[in-house]
Structure 1
Amino acid sequence: MDSLGLFILLILLCFQWRAAPAADVSWTYTGLVGQTEWAQYFPECAGTSQSPIDVVSTQTKYDPSLTPVTPLGYSQLGHRPFTLSNNGHTAVIELPDWMGLEGLPWLFTAVQMHLHWGSGGPSHGGSEHTINGLSADAELHVVHYNSELYSNMSEAVAQRNGLAVLGILIVTGEKTNPAFNNILHYLSRIRHADQKVYIPAFEIRSLLPKDLGRFYRYNGSLTTPPCYQSVIWTLFHERVQISNAQLLKLETILYSSKAGETERMLLQDNYRAPQPLNHRLVFTSFTADSGKELSSGEVTAIVIGVMCGCVGLAVIVRFIVKTIRFFTLLHRETVVVNSSTSSWDVLPSNRPAPMPRMKEPEKAKEAKQDVALSTSPAGAQKEEAPSVPPAQTEP
């Protein structure tokens, strides 16, 4: 073998040696091959269009052309059970190929769905995507491949627009979600890595939000190695709620270690940190006003507040009516009393002062005498003339 052939052989051996670790490496979320080291073994993980991301609502763009996604066959049970398995990283349910997704530029066929969660219980994070910096308690992913452009998942996984993934944020509350019990009830049968079990088929639609018309859309990647940047992401704005007990079961029942291993490792915190958005733009199918979603607690609080407000308003109206009636009645009584009162009492300043009663007869007598004198003057003259004795005649 000449030197050129030896050089080529060494180059090939070098490439094989570099490729072997990426194919055989057992990656984890933390530790020696944790997510901060993924790019050393899987170069795509250092790409500029990685997932998950933090969706900042003020930096999104409304796109009126985005139509609601339409699940195909999600409400059908089929005749075959589902396969539930523990792959050491998450719990996976394989989906039949007669399930699919419309509402995207192409038709996509369902492949599988899986979950991501944390370890601290409610309000401690666990979702991969965040909205305005806030994470949910868990996240469900439903994976599809582009069946119009590619013949199978293996062919589509590394191609542009090859995959479409639905992201459903999960929060916790007091109420149990029966749909998720179709999965959680069987986790005890796949507690260790590489274990699988058949479970009864159920309606996958029951796991999704009721509102499929409000969502965020962006181009991203797989959130696990090899991190291929081939995913059209649809992250629903509406959250799905499970109970605190259901979340606790999800966080504490599975192991990332195999059944034969002596050291058991709980399968927890299997979520990737948000990646830089870089040059990408996140589109929304709803405006800021229409996109506001209220939780069940907020709706209950609003209903109670409205009821209390109505009761308070009724009390105020009744008080006002009673007050008006009181003053109206008081006014009427005042009018009645005033109408029965003498005008002299109403205008006391115009009333003449009463004359003393003792002097009234004397004045009246004097007045009568004056009248009598004025009406008979001849008589008066007679009375006033002095009496003259008659003259005597001399004999």
Structure 2
Amino acid sequence: MQPDTKRMDMTFSRAILFSLILAKASALTNSHIAVSSPDYCYDPYRWCGPKYWQATFQYCTSDFMESQSPVILNPFHMMRNRSMGPLELLAYDVLQSEPWIIKNIRDTIAVEFNPGMYLGGANLPRSYYTFYMAFHWGSETTNGSEHIYNDRRYPMEMQIFHLVPPYQTLNEAAFTERQAVAVLAVFVDIGPEDNPVFETISRAVPTIPLAGDEKFIDPFPLRDLLPNDTSKFYQYTGSLTFPECLYAVEWIVFQEPIYISQKQYNRFIGTVYYHEPEEGEEPRLLLQNYRPTQALFDRILIASANAAVPMFSSSHSLVASLLAVLLTSLVSLLLPRMT
């Protein structure tokens, strides 16, 4: 009896397809980005909101020693460093061959990258591998960037997280050593047209509405999603902006924003949900998922050679500058009398 080659081919094809499905499922379950704790939220009026985080998470206390993020990019605290080298975005222009994972992790949408991209240069103490990116947004009527620049909170902020090898989670790295995490922060503004690069992410968002939902997306050169001019940025030392709020983070915030359309933004504010234990299975839209700005204390914002340093960007800057002038004048008057 001759073998049924057609049936054998179909069986073989199904076996290959099944293997690919299993491989993809395995890859998804191997994601290093966990769904965030239900013990915190961003609602300022609920027990789990940002002003109550320190009651549950001790490192979320903002004080002189535990410098927290995000911050206002206040020119009174800026110092230009003309000798600082450029950022090094190694393999950011390379199209990775394997798909990325996009995941609803309850407090944001995260995109996990494959190995191969690295960050260095500027004032960074070492080289970091590129781990994943996440987003913070507002609502229909409010903006939602975490950092504030020139008195403005942008509609959205994109943050790209980097770790020092061999760490594989943010908390593991930040708990173990200082400066083990580096974050690139990109302001996202609303423009008249779709951003064709961002569309890959935006289109996938409505398909992962609930915490834990995830899927594959096609990769793209990550450099295509950054501002055109990456030489303009501000660098400072701070913390993670979500619990555990660990303060082991080197922040680099780009001056120039990128642009997406209103339609692309609406997919974030209209289709992403999270759960709280007492709410059962009733979903609630994830809105305004940003932490309020924290005090700078004595920290300095290092401005790159090409970055703008505004004269004044807030009334706080003006008051602080006037106080500094008055204090200097007072000291100069008192010194002759003291000698």
TM over 0.5: same fold?
A: yes
Which structure has more strand as a fraction of its residues?
Answer: 2
Matched residue, 2:54: 39
Q: Name the one with the larger helix percent.
A: 1
Alignment of 1:57-206 (within 5 A): 57-103=75-121, 104-121=124-141, 124-147=142-165, 151-153=167-169, 155-158=172-175, 159-206=177-224
**CA offsets 1:231-265 (integer angstroms, 9 cap, x no match):** 0000000111111221122211111139x954220
What secondary structure does 1:27 align onto?
A: coil
More moved, 219-228 vs 150-159: 150-159
Structure 1, residues 104-141: CA drift from partner, whole Å, max 9, x if none? 321101111000000025xx311000013311110000
Larger Rg computed on CA atoms: 1
> Structure 1 stretch 27-36 or stretch 154-163: which is displaced more?
154-163
* Residues 67, 213 of structure 1: 8 Å contact kept: no
Paired letter, 1:42: F
The residue matched to 2:251 in structure 1 has which SS? strand
* Number of positions where the alignment pairs a residue of Structure 1 with one of Structure 2: 265
Contact 2:145 2:156 in 1 (8 A): yes
SS at match of 2:197: helix
- Structure 1 residue aligned with 2:319: none
In the alignment, the residues of structure 2 paired with residue 66 and residue 284 of structure 1 have an alpha-carbon distance, to the nearest angstrom, of 9
CA separation in 1, counterparts of 2:246 and 2:62?
9
Q: How does 1:244-323 map to 2 (within 5 A)?
A: 244-257=262-275, 261-286=280-305
For residue 220 of structure 1, the aligned residue among 238, 244, 248 is 238
Unaligned runs of 5+ in 2: 1-35, 312-339
Q: What residue number does 2:6 align with?
A: none
1:27 aligns with one of 40, 44, 50:
40
Cα deviation per residue 1:58-93 (whole Å; 9 max; x = unaligned)?
431101232221212222222211001001110001
What is aligned with 2:15? none
Cα separation, 1, equivalents of 2:180 and 2:207? 33
Name whichever of 58-67 and 110-119 sits farther off.
58-67
2:135–2:157 Cα contact (<8 Å) kept: yes
Is the CA contact 2:232–2:308 (under 8 Å) kept in the aligned structure 1? no
Q: Which runs of 5+ in 1 are unaligned?
A: 1-22, 293-395
CA distance in 2, matches of 1:289, 1:72: 25
Aligned to 1:56: 74
Contact 1:84 / 1:199 at 8 angstroms: preserved in 2? yes
Report the 3-state secondary structure (helix = DSSP H, G, I; strand = E; otherwise coil) of the residue aligned with 1:116. strand
Shift of 1:287: 5.8
Percent identity (aligned)? 31
* Cα distance, 1:189 vs structure 2: 1.4
Query: Within 2, Cα distance between the matches of 1:289 and 1:213?
Result: 11
- In structure 2, distance between residues paired with 1:242 and 1:25: 30
Alpha-carbon distance in structure 2 between the residues aligned to 1:288 and 1:24: 37
- Specify whether residues 290 and 278 from structure 1 end up closer, same or farther in structure 2 by C-alpha distance, changes over 3 A only: closer
1:133-174 CA-to-partner distances (Å, cap 9, x unmatched) read: 311110000000123xx5444542222101000000011121
